[in-house]
Amino acid sequence: MVRALRSQELVESIIALIDREELGAGDPLPPEHKLMAEFDAARNSVREAVRTLQALGIVDIRHGHGTFVGTASMTALIPSLLFRTKARSRDDLSGLYDLMEVRQILETDLARRVAEHPPAKLLDELQDRVERMREPATAPAADREFHELICAAAGNDLALELVRLFWEVYQQAESLVGPTLSTSDALVAKHQKIVDAIRGGKRAEITEAVHHHFDEIRARIAARKN
């Protein structure tokens, strides 16, 4: 227990050091021997803490070059969120439902914000992705890009990363509810509804359109539970 506590203290201390020194992504972290001296810690303890930070995406270990500040990408959270989603879905699919519900809440608010002052060309770009959804070969990428465009247009980088995170986890957990029920026409129709709602700028219509987008997964979850 003491070792675990010491390791966590080192992790927090190194994060504090990065913040105190105002180090940005790509900047080198002090070498191992300096971290040992700075925190009066053993070599193995420092290495363990650095590996923990690497798993979180906070640092990037480049063998032969040193340790650098990472980008702290949300992708580092995929394994734990996927495990949580699957673990909580074993009995009643609640984990997958929660994931879908949080994504819906987030995307509804982002779409509303974008509709207030749509960036130039956004509607054209969204319409282009809708058209690409008509072809099976381009539909998956177009679907993902459609949602990323809305998030990016809202100007919230964290929200964009979260939506990408939820997308990745959902893609890996979707097998829990079996194959998709949507036809290509249905896929096009529900995304077209979102485009039209953003163009119209009415909050209620945007809310309904985004909610409708998730109706299929709700139906699949309900069918599996029954």
Take residue 208 and report the two structure tokens written for it. 């309904």
pLDDT tens digits along 93-109 = 999 999 999 999 999 99
CA pair distance 153, 160, nearest whole angstrom: 9
* Phi then psi dihedrals of residue 4, to 5 deg: -65, -40
Q: Is the pLDDT of residue 145 over 90?
A: yes
CA pair distance 143, 126, nearest whole angstrom: 10
Take residue 17 and report the two structure tokens written for it. 């050091």
CA pair distance 192, 197, nearest whole angstrom: 9
Take residue 156 and report the two structure tokens written for it. 């919230």
Residue 62: exposed, middle, or buried by beta-carbon count in 10 A (0-12, 13-18, 19+)? exposed
Other CB atoms within a 10 A radius of the CB of residue 129 amount to 21
pLDDT for position 215: 92
Other CB atoms within a 10 A radius of the CB of residue 103 amount to 22
CATH of 2-72 among 1.20.1440.130, 1.10.10.10, 1.10.1740.10, 3.30.499.10: 1.10.10.10
- Mean pLDDT (whole number) for 78-91: 87
Q: What is the DSSP secondary-structure string of 129-151?
A: HHHHTTSTTTHHHHHHHHHHHHH
Take residue 199 and report the two structure tokens written for it. 């163009």
Taking alpha carbons only, the member of 37, 50, 159, 165 closest to residue 106 is 159
pLDDT for position 226: 65
pLDDT for position 4: 53
**CATH 1.10.10.10 segments of the chain:** 2-72
- Do 209 and 196 touch, CB atoms closer than 8 A? yes
pLDDT for position 2: 47
**Domain 77-225 -> CATH class:** mainly alpha
